[in-house]
Copies of this chain bind each other. A is one copy, B any other.
Amino acid sequence: MRIKGVNLGNWLVLEKWMNPALFYGTDAQDEYDLPRQLSKEVYEARIMIHRSEYICERDFVTIKSMGMNTVRIPVPFFVFGDVEPYIGCVNELDKAFNWAERYGLKILIDLHTVPGGQNGFDNGGISGVCKWSRSSENLEFSLHVLERLAQRYGSREGLFGIQPVNEPILDYMWDGMGVQNRYKPRDPEMAEGSGGISRDLLRWFYTEAYHRIRQYMNEDKAVVLHDAFDLMSWKDFMREPEYKNVWLDTHQYLMTAESMGCEQTVPGYLRFIADNYYWQIEEMEHYFPVVCGEWCLFNSLVVGRDTKGGQSVLNGLENTSVESVSDEEKRDIYSVIAAAQLAAWNKGHGYFFWSYKLMIDTVNTNGWVGWDAWDFGRCSDLGWFPSQK
């Protein structure tokens, strides 16, 4: 099976930049602080309306009609509703399975946040904090959530697989990327002791997660491992026949390519895709089915200036509110880049676009020019994307 998929990002795991209204009137930057800055009643009201409106049956119809066959659903560690002050979301996940099965889609459940944080990103649940791997209690909590997810959904027709943890960050990258500069911790004391995850620990966690999940989930469903931003380093890991149906997930954004020196021109992007994604995926396909679990069309060329790895508007760097690229040029740029990326993902086992839907408003708010390229719906409706039907 080759995956054509979208992420249902920001539905059950919040990201402020994808929907600022949820954070209105607070200075919370992440899902950790939000319920701590709102009254219980207001937090509940916002979350309840958000969950019921952001994604509903209608979206599964649309996603299917766009030619997709799978959705990746990020879920938080408090999915089962057992962690104060958060509100569980297993009912929403139940509904999603019913919708998926009604309309012929599969679901990859992605444990997107874990207690203590696995990367220090806002989307890891708590900005600037990365202490998950230092606590056996947190590790065990996460494994237990995975077990319960497998138990509840393991034999559902609509299940494609389970991903044990999203974007765990290795120690060399934690240091190299300067995570806490980009995602400043709100409470420096709480952030103390943060740091990247050791390769050994992550390998242990993946192996343990595999066994816990496989207790309840048949081998026709996949266990999907994120590559921890180091795609080529997993060649010797968890091979057949001992481990069955293990997939490797790699996230490849052009803004990261830009940070690595990719020239911000169409030939520059094409060269980068050809010289990196294409052959790396091809090589890793000898070991695992490889899926590009997150990517999009966003790039600095269309924004009109260097976004410094996608930081501009998010981190208050200077940004633009004037379109410097015409609608026609946009379509030309995006469609050629999209075709090249798709060709790379199709050397592997397909892709999940990040993300199906974003609420950003490029017209009424300053500085968001070009950021609609993160939105699969808009990319598709604006003709930036070759039809996947």
A interface residues (Cβ-Cβ under 8 A, vs B): 19, 21-22, 24, 39, 41-42, 45-46, 48-50, 52-54, 56-58, 61-62, 64-65, 94-95, 98-99, 102, 357-364, 372, 375, 377-378, 381-383
- Cα distance A123–B193 when bound, in Å? 56
**Once the chains are docked, how many angstroms separate the CA of A375 from the CA of B61?**
11
Besides the contacts A42-B45, A57-B363, what 8 more A-B pairs have beta carbons closer than 8 Å? A21-B48, A22-B49, A41-B45, A49-B50, A53-B53, A53-B54, A57-B361, A61-B381
Q: List 21 A–B pairs whose Cβ atoms lie within 8 Å, in order of A's numbering.
A: A19-B53, A21-B49, A21-B52, A41-B41, A41-B42, A42-B42, A42-B45, A45-B45, A45-B46, A46-B49, A49-B49, A49-B53, A50-B53, A53-B53, A56-B361, A57-B363, A57-B372, A58-B372, A58-B377, A61-B377, A61-B381
CB-nearest residue of chain B to A50:
B49
Contact status A95-B361, CB under 8 Å: yes
Complex Cα–Cα for A302 and B94 (A): 27
- Contact at B375–A58, with CB atoms within 8 Å? yes
Identity of the chain B residue whose Cβ is nearest the Cβ of A57 in the assembled complex: B361
When C-beta atoms are compared, the residue in chain B nearest to A95 turns out to be B364
With CB as the reference atom, state the residue of chain B lying closest to A41.
Answer: B42
A19 to chain B: which residues have CB within 8 Å? 52-53
User: If A45-B45, A363-B102 touch, does A357 touch B58 (CB 8 Å cutoff)?
Assistant: yes
Residues of chain B lying within 8 A (CB to CB) of residue A45: 41-42, 45-46, 49
In the complex, which residues of chain B have a beta carbon less than 8 angstroms from the beta carbon of A94?
364
- Alpha-carbon distance A261/B45, docked complex (angstroms): 44
Q: Which of B58, B357, B363, B382 contacts A358 (CB 8 A)?
A: B58
Among all A-B residue pairs, the 3 with the closest Cβ atoms:
A45-B45, A65-B381, A21-B52
* CB-CB nearest in chain B for A383: B65
| A21: chain B residues within 8 A (beta carbon) | 48-49, 52-53
Q: How far is the CA of A54 from the CA of B58 in the complex (A)?
A: 12
Residues on the B chain within 8 Å of A362, using CB: 57
Residues of chain B contacted by A46 (CB below 8 angstroms): 45-46, 48-49
CA–CA, A312 and B180, complex, Å? 57
Q: Which residue of B lies closest to A380 (CB)?
A: B65
Contact present for A24 and B48 (CB under 8 Å): yes
Instruction: Give A359 to B378 CA distance when docked, in angstroms.
Output: 20
Query: Residue on B with the closest CB to A59?
Result: B377
Output the nearest chain B residue to A60 by Cβ-Cβ distance.
B363
How long is the Cα–Cα vector from A93 to B48 in the complex, in angstroms? 24
**Distance (whole angstroms) from the CB of A60 to the closest CB of chain B:** 9
B-side contacts of A58, CB under 8 Å: 357-359, 372, 375, 377-378
- Kindly identify which residue among B54, B62, B358, B378 contacts A377, using a CB–CB cutoff of 8 Å: B62
- Residues of chain B within 8 A of A364, CB atoms compared: 57, 94-95, 98-99
Closest to A364 in B: B95
Residues of B within 8 A of A377 (CB): 58, 61-62
How many angstroms from the CA of A357 to the CA of B53 in the assembled complex? 11
The reply to whether B382 and A61 contact each other, CB–CB distance below 8 Å, is yes
A349 CB to closest chain B CB (Å) equals 26
Contacts of A57 on B, CB cut-off 8 Å? 360-364, 372
Per the bound structure, the CA–CA distance linking A65 and B359 in Å amounts to 18
Which B residues lie within 8 Å of A50 (CB)?
49, 53
Closest to A49 in B: B49
Residue of B nearest to A379 (CB): B61
Cα of A98 to Cα of B361 in the assembled complex, Å: 10
User: With a CB–CB cut-off of 8 A, which chain B residues contact A98?
Assistant: 363-364
Q: Across the interface, name the chain B residue whose C-beta is closest to A382.
A: B61
